[in-house]
């Protein structure tokens, strides 16, 4: 049996009968089989005592028939009894990087527990495989006569068809899929293409991500749906704002909060908006990985990086008529039929909205991720995540000193497996830093690009907001109000949630930290003192901080 270290720590590659491949494969039996592929040998020699040989074999896809030499080595080891364990993910869901070991302050290496899926998800193995298979065929799209170009164009357009299916919006019904970078770009593009007047009104909510707040301020007036102390609002709250004053040109609303995981009643809200003749845009970035997309919104957008396809692609979907007239958001090659020095004839959508050379690799990954989630099945995904949501919320609320923000998630509620919380007496940045440095657990801290919402959840009044504003203006982010967020996905197991809860108890009630932590006032982040492997001065990340956003 060829075995792989659960950490996946690959250090040496031996291409045998095949060029090395960047993606991994399942453990395969190699007894009395001629094989072609690549053997990856793992760094941790101490595990030789356990396995005999530690390697990962990636088998080349070979057509039926005799296999020609050279062959890789066929390695055997005594059979080991199966160890019963709860699956870490729903049936059929395999993720790249599962089980990676990360260094901790006590010099040990622990399996990385990724509880930051609401920010970005790891790649599905099927997505990585699809990208690896496509890479040799990568070429320009739409305007090339060569075979590779035609193949790449087909792959790119297949991804568009996947988005149509995933969203339940067929092109035959007058819908168009515009492939773009992410949800933020999609919302900016829609804000431009709706051709709103400065005195038009867009209704949105205080629950929104900044991506669904800021673009509308550039093009129209805004009215807000407020939330209650638990961070929720009802259909009546929305209709009151829709009916207050000038009729809105648009309702822009999230499908799921990226802070609390709360799911607004989108179907009923869309019905009320449409009765009033108001179109609805849905920010589905946080919803799309967890639920089938609702049919009610007129426009929606979502991102591949939250959908197990972290290759830089997303989609804006809406009625074709919106994009058939007027200038596109981006002007350039591929968006035109004819150009003269004083005239341009724009082509039809979606190409009209996709000027420039597109991210073909990202689109291929994006399309495969949507197809793979459909193959796994929404019932299976929801079953897996519903259990984690209850375990996460109930577990956090059982710890003295922890305050969970947002609605109380119980077994009969519809809340994603996302929880934002604070710890009494401990800065949110320090909690996140200790979970990472001491326990190998990845969470997020700060305001999660949803400042208005989080400030309401935290109960920060005008004086607190003024203090934070003054500190930021002088370059000090150390006192920005914030919280810690843990978020689950397909690769999250019950053991991962248990590990988080145990680590939090240790941080809160287990005595002082093993080392001092220093806060950087410019970023607001904390870093352990000393030079432990993986946590020395040279390991400190450069760039923006969690406190920003």
* Separation CA 298–CA 185 (nearest Å): 18
Q: Rg of the chain over CA atoms, in angstroms? A: 25
Q: Residue 82, class by beta-carbon neighbours within 10 Å (0-12 exposed, 13-18 middle, 19+ buried)?
A: exposed
Q: What residues contact 252, with CB distance under 8 A and at least 6 apart?
A: 187, 202, 203, 204, 208, 212, 216, 280, 281, 283
d(CA 334, CA 351): 7
Long-range CB pairs of 386-392 (<8 Å, 24+ gap) are 386/417, 387/494, 388/417, 388/488, 388/492, 388/494, 388/497, 389/261, 389/415, 389/416, 389/417, 389/418, 389/488, 391/494, 391/497, 391/498, 392/417, 392/419, 392/486, 392/488, 392/497, 392/500
Catalytic residue, candidates 180, 449, 488, 546: 449
φ, ψ for residue 502, nearest 5 deg = -65, -40
Q: Cα(96)–Cα(124) distance, rounded to whole angstroms?
A: 6
Euclidean distance between CA atoms 131 and 357, whole angstroms: 18
β strands within 119-190, DSSP E:
175-180
Give which of 23, 31, 213 is closest to 122, Cα–Cα: 23
Of 13, 4, 73, give the one whose Cα is nearest residue 44. Answer: 4
Note if 447 is an active site residue: no
The C-alpha atoms of residue 483 and residue 212 are separated, in whole angstroms, by: 21
Q: Do residues 496 and 516 make contact, with C-beta atoms less than 8 angstroms apart?
A: no
Q: Are residues 191 and 218 in contact, defined by beta-carbon separation less than 8 angstroms?
A: yes
* Cα–Cα–Cα angle for 71, 72, 78, rounded to 5 degrees: 125
Q: Are 441 and 110 in contact (CB under 8 A)?
A: no
Read off φ and ψ for residue 56, nearest 5 degrees.
Answer: -125, 125
Candidates 196, 243, 203, 244; CA nearest to 220 is 196
In whole angstroms, give the CA distance from residue 144 to residue 163: 24
Active site residues: 449
């Amino acid at each position: 049996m060829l075995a792989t270290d659960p950490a996946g720590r690959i250090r040496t590659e031996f291409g045998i009968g095949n060029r090395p491949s960047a993606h991994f494969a399942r453990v395969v039996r190699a007894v009395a089989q001629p094989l072609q592929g690549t053997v990856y040998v793992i760094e941790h020699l101490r595990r030789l005592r356990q396995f005999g040989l530690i390697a990962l074999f990636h088998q080349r896809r070979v057509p039926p028939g005799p296999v020609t030499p050279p062959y890789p080595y066929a390695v055997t080891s005594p059979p080991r009894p199966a160890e019963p364990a709860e699956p870490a993910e729903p049936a059929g869901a395999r993720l790249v990087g599962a089980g990676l070991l990360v260094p901790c302050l006590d010099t040990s290496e622990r399996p990385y527990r990724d509880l930051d899926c609401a920010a970005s998800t790891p790649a599905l193995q099927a997505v990585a495989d699809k990208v690896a298979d496509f890479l040799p065929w990568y070429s320009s799209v739409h305007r090339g006569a060569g075979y590779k170009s035609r193949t790449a164009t087909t792959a790119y357009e297949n991804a568009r068809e996947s988005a149509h299916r995933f969203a339940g919006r067929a092109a035959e019904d007058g819908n168009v899929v515009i492939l773009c970078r992410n949800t933020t770009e999609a919302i900016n593009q829609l804000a431009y293409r709706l051709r709103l007047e400065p005195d038009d009104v867009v209704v949105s909510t205080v629950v929104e991500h900044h991506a669904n707040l800021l673009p509308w301020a550039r093009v129209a007036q805004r009215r807000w749906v407020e939330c209650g102390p638990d961070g929720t609002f009802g259909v009546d709250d929305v209709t009151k704002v829709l009916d207050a004053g000038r009729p809105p040109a648009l309702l822009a609303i999230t499908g799921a909060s990226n802070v609390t995981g709360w799911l607004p009643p989108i179907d009923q809200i869309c019905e009320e908006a449409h009765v009033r003749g108001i179109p609805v845009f849905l920010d589905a970035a946080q919803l799309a990985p967890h639920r089938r997309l609702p049919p009610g919104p007129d426009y929606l957008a979502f991102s591949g990086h939250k959908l197990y396809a972290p290759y830089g692609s997303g989609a804006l979907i809406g009625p074709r008529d919106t994009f058939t007239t007027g200038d596109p958001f981006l002007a350039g090659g591929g968006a035109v039929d004819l150009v003269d020095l004083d005239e341009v004839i724009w082509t039809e959508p979606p190409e009209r909205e996709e000027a420039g050379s597109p991210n073909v690799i990202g689109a291929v990954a994006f399309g495969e991720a949507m197809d793979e989630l459909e193959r796994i099945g929404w019932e299976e995904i929801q079953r897996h995540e519903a259990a984690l949501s209850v375990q996460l919320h109930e577990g956090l609320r059982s710890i003295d000193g922890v305050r969970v923000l947002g609605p109380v998630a119980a077994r009969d509620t519809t809340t994603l497996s996302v929880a934002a919380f604070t710890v009494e007496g401990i800065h949110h940045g320090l909690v996140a830093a200790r979970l990472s440095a001491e326990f190998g657990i990845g969470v997020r801290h700060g305001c999660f690009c949803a400042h208005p919402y989080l400030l309401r959840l935290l109960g920060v009044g005008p004086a607190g907001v003024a203090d934070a504003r003054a500190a930021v203006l002088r370059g000090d982010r150390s006192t920005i109000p914030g919280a810690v967020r843990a978020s689950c996905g397909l690769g999250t197991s019950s053991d991962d949630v248990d590990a988080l809860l145990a680590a939090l108890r240790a941080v809160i009630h287990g005595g002082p930290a093993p080392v001092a932590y220093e806060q950087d006032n410019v970023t607001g982040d904390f870093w352990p003192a000393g030079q432990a492997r993986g946590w020395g001065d040279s390991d400190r990340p450069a760039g923006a901080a969690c406190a920003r956003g």
